[in-house]
Amino acid sequence: MPFGPEPPQLLKQRFLYRGRKFAFEANRLRLPNKAEGEWECVRHPGGALAVPVTPEGKLVLIRQYRFTARGRILEFPAGTIELDESPEETIKREIEEETGYRSDRWQKLGEFFVAPGYSDEIIYAFLAQDLELLENPPEQDIDEDLSVVLMTPQEVESAIYSGELSDAKSICSFMLARPFLQPN
Protein backbone atom coordinates (compact mmCIF):
# COMPACT_ATOMS: atom_id res chain seq x y z
CA MET A 1 0.00 0.00 0.00
CA PRO A 2 2.24 2.87 -1.21
CA PHE A 3 0.09 5.78 0.04
CA GLY A 4 -1.23 4.47 3.35
CA PRO A 5 -4.96 4.08 3.89
CA GLU A 6 -6.00 6.27 0.94
CA PRO A 7 -4.19 7.47 -2.19
CA PRO A 8 -3.86 11.12 -3.16
CA GLN A 9 -6.70 12.58 -5.22
CA LEU A 10 -5.76 13.65 -8.76
CA LEU A 11 -7.17 17.16 -9.31
CA LYS A 12 -5.56 18.06 -12.62
CA GLN A 13 -3.15 16.44 -15.07
CA ARG A 14 -1.18 18.22 -17.79
CA PHE A 15 0.93 16.47 -20.38
CA LEU A 16 3.87 18.78 -21.05
CA TYR A 17 5.82 16.65 -23.50
CA ARG A 18 5.43 13.37 -25.38
CA GLY A 19 8.56 12.00 -26.97
CA ARG A 20 9.73 8.86 -28.65
CA LYS A 21 10.68 7.09 -25.39
CA PHE A 22 8.96 8.97 -22.57
CA ALA A 23 6.34 11.55 -21.58
CA PHE A 24 6.53 14.34 -19.03
CA GLU A 25 3.48 15.34 -17.04
CA ALA A 26 2.53 17.66 -14.17
CA ASN A 27 -0.13 16.51 -11.71
CA ARG A 28 -2.02 18.56 -9.16
CA LEU A 29 -2.80 16.30 -6.19
CA ARG A 30 -4.66 16.54 -2.91
CA LEU A 31 -3.04 14.39 -0.25
CA PRO A 32 -5.05 12.52 2.40
CA ASN A 33 -4.10 15.28 4.88
CA LYS A 34 -5.85 17.78 2.50
CA ALA A 35 -2.59 19.49 1.47
CA GLU A 36 -2.37 20.21 -2.26
CA GLY A 37 0.65 20.41 -4.49
CA GLU A 38 2.06 19.79 -7.95
CA TRP A 39 4.13 16.70 -8.75
CA GLU A 40 5.99 16.30 -12.02
CA CYS A 41 6.60 12.85 -13.44
CA VAL A 42 8.48 11.26 -16.30
CA ARG A 43 6.38 8.37 -17.67
CA HIS A 44 8.58 5.66 -19.18
CA PRO A 45 7.68 2.20 -20.57
CA GLY A 46 10.49 0.60 -18.56
CA GLY A 47 13.69 -1.09 -19.54
CA ALA A 48 15.44 -4.43 -19.39
CA LEU A 49 19.10 -5.04 -18.55
CA ALA A 50 21.35 -8.09 -18.69
CA VAL A 51 24.41 -9.03 -16.72
CA PRO A 52 25.91 -11.27 -19.44
CA VAL A 53 28.48 -13.91 -18.50
CA THR A 54 30.72 -15.76 -20.95
CA PRO A 55 31.53 -19.46 -20.38
CA GLU A 56 34.95 -18.25 -19.12
CA GLY A 57 33.30 -16.14 -16.42
CA LYS A 58 33.89 -12.74 -18.03
CA LEU A 59 31.13 -10.15 -17.86
CA VAL A 60 30.13 -8.37 -21.05
CA LEU A 61 29.65 -4.63 -20.67
CA ILE A 62 29.45 -1.79 -23.13
CA ARG A 63 31.06 1.62 -23.20
CA GLN A 64 28.41 3.86 -24.71
CA TYR A 65 28.12 7.54 -25.54
CA ARG A 66 25.40 9.12 -23.39
CA PHE A 67 24.45 12.69 -24.24
CA THR A 68 23.12 13.40 -20.73
CA ALA A 69 26.38 12.18 -19.14
CA ARG A 70 28.41 14.20 -21.68
CA GLY A 71 30.59 11.26 -22.60
CA ARG A 72 31.04 7.52 -22.90
CA ILE A 73 30.08 5.54 -19.82
CA LEU A 74 30.54 1.92 -18.83
CA GLU A 75 27.32 -0.05 -18.37
CA PHE A 76 25.65 -3.40 -18.88
CA PRO A 77 23.58 -3.86 -22.07
CA ALA A 78 20.03 -2.57 -21.68
CA GLY A 79 17.15 -1.18 -23.66
CA THR A 80 13.72 0.37 -23.53
CA ILE A 81 10.78 -2.03 -23.62
CA GLU A 82 8.98 -1.60 -26.93
CA LEU A 83 5.20 -1.65 -27.32
CA ASP A 84 3.83 -5.23 -27.13
CA GLU A 85 7.23 -6.56 -26.02
CA SER A 86 8.01 -8.30 -22.72
CA PRO A 87 11.12 -7.40 -20.70
CA GLU A 88 12.57 -10.81 -21.64
CA GLU A 89 12.06 -10.17 -25.35
CA THR A 90 13.57 -6.72 -25.00
CA ILE A 91 16.78 -7.83 -23.36
CA LYS A 92 17.28 -10.82 -25.66
CA ARG A 93 17.06 -8.45 -28.64
CA GLU A 94 19.22 -5.79 -27.02
CA ILE A 95 22.04 -8.10 -25.97
CA GLU A 96 22.38 -9.37 -29.54
CA GLU A 97 22.25 -5.86 -31.03
CA GLU A 98 24.61 -4.25 -28.53
CA THR A 99 27.15 -7.02 -27.91
CA GLY A 100 26.88 -9.64 -30.67
CA TYR A 101 26.28 -12.36 -28.06
CA ARG A 102 23.31 -14.66 -27.50
CA SER A 103 22.26 -16.68 -24.47
CA ASP A 104 19.77 -19.49 -24.02
CA ARG A 105 20.22 -19.51 -20.22
CA TRP A 106 18.39 -16.64 -18.54
CA GLN A 107 17.51 -15.92 -14.94
CA LYS A 108 15.48 -12.97 -13.69
CA LEU A 109 17.40 -11.15 -10.96
CA GLY A 110 14.75 -8.62 -9.96
CA GLU A 111 13.20 -5.31 -10.83
CA PHE A 112 13.59 -1.83 -9.40
CA PHE A 113 12.69 1.82 -9.92
CA VAL A 114 15.43 3.93 -11.48
CA ALA A 115 14.48 7.25 -9.86
CA PRO A 116 11.06 7.11 -8.14
CA GLY A 117 11.27 10.74 -7.08
CA TYR A 118 10.44 11.84 -10.62
CA SER A 119 9.99 8.79 -12.87
CA ASP A 120 7.91 5.61 -13.01
CA GLU A 121 10.62 3.77 -15.01
CA ILE A 122 11.30 0.23 -13.82
CA ILE A 123 14.34 -1.80 -14.85
CA TYR A 124 13.93 -5.58 -15.17
CA ALA A 125 17.33 -7.16 -14.52
CA PHE A 126 18.41 -10.55 -15.87
CA LEU A 127 21.45 -12.79 -15.69
CA ALA A 128 22.46 -14.20 -19.09
CA GLN A 129 24.84 -17.15 -18.86
CA ASP A 130 26.70 -19.44 -21.27
CA LEU A 131 26.94 -16.75 -23.94
CA GLU A 132 27.83 -17.60 -27.49
CA LEU A 133 29.26 -15.11 -29.95
CA LEU A 134 27.05 -14.76 -33.02
CA GLU A 135 28.63 -15.30 -36.44
CA ASN A 136 26.47 -12.57 -37.97
CA PRO A 137 25.36 -10.21 -35.20
CA PRO A 138 22.59 -7.74 -36.01
CA GLU A 139 23.59 -4.18 -36.78
CA GLN A 140 23.60 -1.72 -33.91
CA ASP A 141 20.91 0.95 -33.86
CA ILE A 142 21.92 3.98 -35.90
CA ASP A 143 21.74 6.23 -32.82
CA GLU A 144 24.10 4.11 -30.70
CA ASP A 145 27.83 4.66 -30.32
CA LEU A 146 29.22 1.80 -28.26
CA SER A 147 31.96 -0.76 -27.88
CA VAL A 148 32.05 -4.09 -26.03
CA VAL A 149 34.19 -4.47 -22.89
CA LEU A 150 34.94 -7.80 -21.17
CA MET A 151 35.73 -7.72 -17.44
CA THR A 152 35.99 -10.15 -14.55
CA PRO A 153 33.53 -9.69 -11.67
CA GLN A 154 36.44 -8.34 -9.58
CA GLU A 155 37.28 -5.79 -12.28
CA VAL A 156 33.64 -4.68 -12.38
CA GLU A 157 33.62 -4.31 -8.62
CA SER A 158 36.82 -2.24 -8.76
CA ALA A 159 35.32 -0.10 -11.53
CA ILE A 160 32.30 0.59 -9.31
CA TYR A 161 34.41 1.65 -6.33
CA SER A 162 36.74 3.77 -8.47
CA GLY A 163 33.83 5.57 -10.14
CA GLU A 164 34.65 4.27 -13.63
CA LEU A 165 31.32 2.42 -13.59
CA SER A 166 28.81 4.98 -12.27
CA ASP A 167 25.59 3.87 -13.98
CA ALA A 168 23.08 3.11 -11.19
CA LYS A 169 21.10 0.46 -13.09
CA SER A 170 24.32 -1.43 -13.84
CA ILE A 171 25.54 -1.21 -10.25
CA CYS A 172 22.20 -2.43 -8.85
CA SER A 173 22.02 -5.28 -11.34
CA PHE A 174 25.63 -6.33 -10.69
CA MET A 175 24.89 -6.49 -6.96
CA LEU A 176 21.81 -8.66 -7.65
CA ALA A 177 23.94 -10.94 -9.88
CA ARG A 178 26.99 -11.11 -7.58
CA PRO A 179 25.88 -14.27 -5.67
CA PHE A 180 25.62 -16.16 -8.98
CA LEU A 181 29.03 -15.14 -10.35
CA GLN A 182 32.01 -17.43 -9.92
CA PRO A 183 35.05 -15.84 -8.29
CA ASN A 184 38.09 -15.71 -10.58
Work out how many domains the chain is built from and give that number.
Answer: 2
pLDDT recorded at residue 184: 56
34 and 68 co-located in one domain: no
pLDDT tens digits, residue range 21-80? 889 999 999 999 999 999 999 999 999 999 999 999 999 999 999 998 999 999 999 999
Give dist(CA 173, CA 156) in Å, integer. Answer: 12
Give dist(CA 5, CA 106) in Å, integer. Answer: 38
71 and 154 co-located in one domain: yes
pLDDT recorded at residue 145: 81
In this structure, the strands spanning 59-66 and 146-151 are: antiparallel
**pLDDT of 110 above 90:** yes
60 and 132 co-located in one domain: yes
32 and 53 co-located in one domain: no
pLDDT recorded at residue 1: 39
pLDDT recorded at residue 133: 93
In a domain, 3, yes or no: no
In this structure, the strands spanning 23-30 and 132-133 are: unpaired
* Arithmetic mean of pLDDT, 117-133: 96
What is the extent of the structural domain holding 55?
Answer: 47-112+121-180
13 and 93 co-located in one domain: no
175 and 131 co-located in one domain: yes
pLDDT recorded at residue 143: 73
